[in-house]
Amino acid sequence: MTQKICIAIAFLTGLGMIFIGTRFLLAPETAEAGYGIHFNNQGDYSFHYIKGIRDVFSGLLICIFVLTKQTKALGITLAVGTIIPVTDMLIVLSKDYNGIVQAIPHISAIIVCAAVGTILLMPKTISKAL
């Protein structure tokens, strides 16, 4: 049961990442504000597009692993992928104009990726006991 819940959470996370990435591609200034940074160099949205496609790819990868029942690959991707929200959080917190409030989405992603990834990598007998 725990594994099924984790797979559902992973799928929703993947869909969320696709949404966030798409928002960076289609509405870069709105997405930028939600991310917790201020960056726009005279209408140059290169950073936004890079971030957007990274998130769309990551979200699609997670959703594809769920849909194809690749639980081990999903667990590895989430566990190792924890490096992304950790780095994003450090970038957000390095800005003088940000505080913990802007880091909360990144902290939430860290918790979800680390916990769900770890649970999915546990042997089935252990995860069933949880």
Domain extents for the chain?
A: 2-129
Q: What would the two tokens of residue 128 be?
A: 């069933």
41: β partners:
44
Q: What is the pLDDT of residue 22?
A: 96
pTM confidence score: 0.84
Q: How does pLDDT run along the chain (130 residues), one tens digit per residue? A: 889 999 999 999 999 999 999 999 999 888 887 777 777 667 788 888 999 999 999 999 999 999 999 999 999 999 999 999 999 899 889 988 878 888 898 999 999 999 999 999 998 766 566 6
Is the CB of residue 122 less than 8 Å from the CB of residue 65? no
